[in-house]
Amino acid sequence: MPGEPVTVNDVYKSYMYGDKRYEVLKGVSLTARGGEFLAIQGPSGSGKTTLIYLIAGIDTPDEGEIIVNGAKVSAMKEGERTRWRRRNIGIIFQFYHLLPTLTALENILLPMELAGIPKEERISRARRLLEFVGMESAGDKFPSELSGGEQQRIAIARALAAEPPVILADEPTANLDTANKRRIVQLLREAADKGTTVIMTTHDPELAEAADRVVRLVDGVVVEE
């Protein structure tokens, strides 16, 4: 499963709050090579989450461009971005975002169903992913029956389910204890070693050390690489 290169060129993003405009990203440029594990490190409020949302095509920049494997995501219309994202991007959020009415297995199956993957292949792949994240016995459990670390491992399996070439992980360890933090980063490291391009945001320099490369973002600007 080859990864895809990600290029962010001179990207600006701001938001209006009331009658005031806040600049979040101020000319950010960076690249992630295919199959690379890139960590974006920086304090809260530095623009890390905004950058992840832009790369995923959930939002669009005010200026600049974002290109993933030759596709100019920043120029796509909303519906086009949604279809593209289902096939190309797996997202891991800080607060898991598992659907509470679905079991762990069903949460992993869902993105494959949306991507049109045949049922037999979906089930086989989901069980392999449960094994990959060390949750073989949790397939029939609901999110409320799992710990935070277990839910995040299911979220990683879900992100990998449709075999996207790019995984975006936004502070995936922020709410976990030390042992679970290391386990989550290890799983992301293993995904990158298998060829997936992984971009992870974190404020923790120790966790960033697992990446191939670290980019530091402060006040919406890349200050160190």
pLDDT at 50 over 90: yes
Tell me if 198 sits within 8 A of 52, measured CB to CB: no
- CA distances from residue 43 to 15, 17, 27, 166, 169 in whole angstroms, order as listed: 19, 21, 18, 24, 16
Three-state SS at 38: strand
Q: What pLDDT, on the 0 to 100 scale, is given for residue 95?
A: 80
Mean pLDDT of the chain: 91
pLDDT (mean) for 199-205: 91
Tell me if 191 sits within 8 A of 167, measured CB to CB: yes
Quick one: angle between helices 119-132 and 104-114, nearest 10?
130
Q: Where are the domains of the chain?
A: 6-224
pLDDT at 27 over 90: yes
Give CATH for domain 6-224.
3.40.50.300
Q: What angle do CA 93, 7, 168 make, to 5 degrees?
A: 15
pLDDT (mean) for 32-39: 94
Q: What pLDDT, on the 0 to 100 scale, is given for residue 1?
A: 46
pLDDT at 175 over 70: yes
pLDDT (mean) for 112-118: 88
pLDDT (mean) for 41-48: 90
- Whose CA is closest to 172, among 160, 163, 164, 184? 184
Q: What percent of the chain has pLDDT over 90?
A: 64
Distance separating alpha carbons of residues 55 and 58, to the nearest angstrom: 8
pLDDT (mean) for 24-44: 94
